[in-house]
Amino acid sequence: MKIALIGYGNMGQELEDLIKEQKHNAIVSISYQNKNDVLDIKGIKKADVAIDFTSAELVLETIEKVSSVGVPFVVGTTGWYDQLPIVEKIVKEKNTGLVYGKNFSLGANIFFQVVGFASKLLSSYGSYDVAGFEMHHKGKKDSPSGTAKKIASVIMENFPKKKKLETGRLDRQIKEDELHFASVRAGQYFGHHEVLFDSKADEIKLVHTAHNRRGFAEGALLAASYIHNKKGIFAFEELFAKGVIV
């Protein structure tokens, strides 16, 4: 599979290293390798799939340009989901394919399912409350993380008492129907997420910690393999949960 990388930050370089280890994939284009570079549309046209890890500010324009040349797209960039209806329209009009995800890590997607199961089970015992916590490196631009928002949505889908997500500072007593998910930005953390179930009797803690970026790169390549020669827009988490991506 011929791949165009869009973005050459930490994730772009991790993808490059992983692809170099493989015989069945090859890089045909790298956009934004240097600070003043532009989108390499000429190179992207040669690719079977493009993979984007840039910034939320660039995503919409990039999707429009890549879709216009008919190349399927994997979007690993987070923080742009308020524009999802526009992206869905673009993908449909251009009759192309796109996979987006709040987290492409295989372990994190297993974690989503574990959290869903635990939330459903523990919600049936009225004595438990639930909260979340996440930590990322100091260079991360969005807060809370897309992964934290996904975990929160999984909790609220399965823990009926929690109706509203609170991610900021609370200078008041939290309400029973509010789920608090706190964020910290410091150091070099690749991604650390905790879900806490607490009662008067005990605490149950679920934790996922990424040791490096390799898991994210592996998931992005699985998504690229899936969307190659397909049409439509798909969430990576949904494909993973259905067992489509393995």
* pLDDT tens per residue across span 88-106: 999 999 999 999 998 899 9
Same domain, 90 and 159: no
Q: DSSP readout, 126-176?
A: TT-EEEEEEEE-TT--SSS-HHHHHHHHHHHHH-TT--EEE-S--SSPPPT
**Active-site residue 140, yes or no?**
yes
- Residues 200, 214: Cα–Cα separation, whole Å: 39
Same domain, 180 and 219: no
DSSP conformation class of 28: E
Q: Would 246 be classed as within a structural domain?
A: no
Q: What is the dihedral of CA 107, 169, 235, 137, to 10 degrees?
A: -50
* pLDDT tens per residue across span 104-153: 999 999 999 999 999 999 999 889 999 999 999 998 888 899 899 999 99
Same domain, 183 and 110: yes
Same domain, 114 and 58: no
Q: What is the CATH number of the domain that holds 59?
A: 3.40.50.720
Q: Would 23 be classed as within a structural domain?
A: yes
- Residues 78, 59: Cα–Cα separation, whole Å: 9
Same domain, 39 and 79: yes
Same domain, 218 and 100: yes
* Per annotation, catalytic residue among 94, 102, 136, 149: 136
Q: Would 148 be classed as within a structural domain?
A: yes
pLDDT at 63: 96
The number of folded domains in the chain is 2
Q: What is the CATH number of the domain that holds 170?
A: 3.30.360.10
Q: Would 26 be classed as within a structural domain?
A: yes
**Active-site residue 136, yes or no?**
yes
Same domain, 98 and 114: no
Same domain, 118 and 237: no
**Domain range spanning residue 52?**
2-104+213-241
* Per annotation, catalytic residue among 2, 65, 120, 140: 140
Same domain, 66 and 11: yes
